[in-house]
Structure 1
């Protein structure tokens, strides 16, 4: 009977590991609660109507289908029986293993205020990205119908909580999308009614980047109309706005990007006290104290050569997945330790504006933006997605059009906005469209 390798998680790390084990003598099973792999770094483009969900997602079965020794199970894992070497699934099913790989990724950290999640979704799933897009686009439609100035401004106020790369990318994208749509497609709202606020509790945005790149990013965000507020903490999030200090800000949409934490996988191993929920691993990614169990990506607490924990980046998970797949395949008696090779840290700020930190040197502006686009296209799951996204990006770069600006029927009810009994003008003041 072939050795059974079970991989929990079909993200960057889990799929990279599975691919390395494809067409080998091992029996490999991948378990994920979703049936698709998702390229999360581009979810913000789904949320801001630049891409459709299908552009950045692909069924796991399609990705791994050509490997006859790999099976996929769509299910929710609820526990691990270490002694009996089996994984427990929701509904009571169990899956046996000889070697187990935990690659369950991370989730947004609401710092004990999980009730905020419904009012301030993050960007970890397609559902959340579509939810943000729905609220974002609906708020423009409601503002178009609103009959007083303050109501319009409230609906066109957007708060992004968290000044990391996700928050910065989202704030910049909302500001640019909003101003373009107002100038081109709407008649009863003005660009100066749009307000985008980026709130960071720490002293600076993009804290992992060098100071000169932070200054560039902040200056560019302010140039395109984003209010950057650092050193301020959000105290409450409601359906109609957020409380920051003593100020309540009414909003049309709130986006959460204030930090992540590891998935609950550590509890399956009885490790409730580990910092940040990350599972301690040795240099070969084996879980400390657990034979034949491995962890990688955002799930693993792995210290790099600089004595700091590796960041929760796609490149980390992918490199660890490739390393672990080869380690399990070769079964070396004395395997070399995993070494992370940093390909650079990046964030896109807006159109023609991005930053790259390669450690010894940095890049910013248009050149960094084109490099960011190239890297993200390259990291997409297959050639088809790369071509599809590239063509769409080129077209939208030339035309500034957004291709996924669809709102579900019934999402703009009459309860949220009072519609005046007036005839709407068809031109802006002065006859300018």
Structure 2
């Protein structure tokens, strides 16, 4: 059995599991603390998930939104990275075990593993639908899209092609809007042999509206913007089954089979199944229960932050709660090292608002202490904020260039593509 020690000796050992928004924030917030940090992640990179749909729709390179986790040592020498997947936590001996047998000792453990796709037990969804939560999934969507289009250009003159997006939260709306704009603006130039009216983008939502957390006015703007782009919006529609060639839905008690060449699943998230093996208490959605300081209930020196955690007052599963909870935990660790943890007040969340984009020059912004915004100004703020939040100057510059070339120069129809695998004939619809 392998063992990974801390960077130095005689100092408190902090193990952070997960290199997302919360995990990296916690690591950086402990930069000057008298601790040795081990950052563990199953990937060697951080993924900026809010822009995954731009990779899926060929606007960005995957490298634009991923950041090498080992690069954190460039400005912080009290951290080391270990690639691995958490298998178990030995709370009595204070060590974590990774798949393969490697163990990492800790004095403080921060669980920031995030969540995964929730298929809600829908038959066929896990087998046939493609989630949009990881880089590999974004690439799968992109390559299947262009593979289908190449086949459609040759063999599809008398068929219909549908892409169904399930879930009208931010990811679903942004993906559907981007696909519709690609169909409307790029395909007439790049795929002149395809009648674009035969390519349908269908957005399916179980509830009565899109973008539930937003104000009614902003939701109305989003619906209008989607309709303007020709998105087939199916509200109050439940997905009953996902098939290899389509999706079975129900609306007003009547079922309908929607043939589809691809089903993109953006309907929700849940905790990873493996959380149940870590010896931690779980609440709604399998999330780890924590107190007002993000301490895991009943466990000394163990914290959970971000999407995987649920406290007395549940917070939205967004970047800001993860970032703010990580900073609070780091503050508490520093105070505990000085013997004054009682000096730290319970966590208070500062809601900075949220945003979503529908397409070029079209977005909604619900920012705290600001008027509700729609249209170009909201889109400009959305673009600037997302670029600023990316890790690394190279990623910010590359993303700015690629998004500028797509949205600001009307003569550019260049798509960032990869493999275009041969596709079986697309489903008729």
Q: Is 1:374 matched with 2:384?
A: yes
Number of matched pairs = 408
How far apart are 1:194 and its partner, in Å? 1.9
Q: Which residue number in structure 1 is paired with residue 256 of structure 2?
A: 247
Confirm or deny: 8 A CA contact 1:104 1:265 kept in the other structure: no
* 1:180 equivalent in structure 2: 185
Equivalent pair of 1:353/1:366 in contact (CA under 8 Å): yes
Query: Cα–Cα, structure 1 residues 64 and 122, in superposed 2: closer, same or farther, change >3 Å?
Result: farther
Name which of structure 1's ranges 326-335 and 281-290 shifts more when overlaid on structure 2: 326-335
CA 357–303 in structure 1, closer or farther in 2 if over 3 Å, else same:
farther
Does 2:59 correspond to 1:59?
no
Unmatched 5+ residue regions in structure 2?
Answer: 1-9
1:333 aligned to 2:338?
A: no
- The answer for the alignment partner of 1:385 in structure 2 is 395
Cα distance in 1, alignment partners of residues 191 and 55 from structure 2: 21
Change (3 A) 1:75 1:4: same
Over residues 279-313 of structure 1, what are the superposed CA-to-partner deviations in whole Å (9 max), with x where a residue is unaligned?
11111111111110001000111244xxxx10000
* CA apart distance, 1:118: 4.0
Q: Is the 8 A contact 1:135 1:252 kept in 2?
A: no
Map residues 126-205 of structure 1 onto 2, 5 A cutoff.
Answer: 126-149=135-158, 151=159, 153=160, 155=161, 157-205=162-210
Q: Verify the 8 A CA contact 1:50 1:402 in the aligned structure 2.
A: no
Partners of 2:20 and 2:114 within 8 A in 1: yes
| CA–CA separation in structure 2 for the residues paired with 1:64 and 1:380 | 17
Q: Does 1:343 align with 2:352?
A: yes
For residues 271 and 29 of structure 1, the distance between their equivalents in structure 2, rounded to whole angstroms, comes to 20
TM-score, normalization: structure 1? Answer: 0.90
**Aligned 1:287-326 pairs, distance under 5 A:** 287-304=296-313, 309-326=314-331
Q: Name 2:416's counterpart in structure 1.
A: 405
- Deviation (angstroms), 1:263: 2.9
Contact 2:61–2:416, Cα closer than 8 Å, also in 1: no
Match of 2:235 among 210, 230, 233: 230
**1:107-161 per-position Cα deviation (integer Å, ceiling 9, x unaligned):** 1100124852342111211100000101111121111111542x2x1x3x11000
Q: Is the 8 A contact 1:9 1:103 kept in 2?
A: yes
SS of alignment partner, residue 133 of structure 2: coil
Question: What RMSD, in angstroms, separates the aligned Cα atoms of the two structures?
Answer: 1.9
- How far off is 1:185 after superposition? 1.2
Describe the SS at the equivalent of 1:399. coil
SS in structure 1 at match of 2:380: helix
Report if aligned partners of 2:123, 2:242 keep a CA contact under 8 Å in 1.
Answer: no
Residue aligned with 1:117, SS:
helix
Instruction: Provide the C-alpha distance between the structure 1 equivalents of 2:377 and 2:328, rounded to a whole number of angstroms.
Output: 31
Gaps of 5+ in 1: 419-433
Distance 1:403 1:277 in 2: 42
TM (normalized to structure 2)? 0.91
Higher mean C-alpha deviation, range 25-34 or range 276-285: 276-285
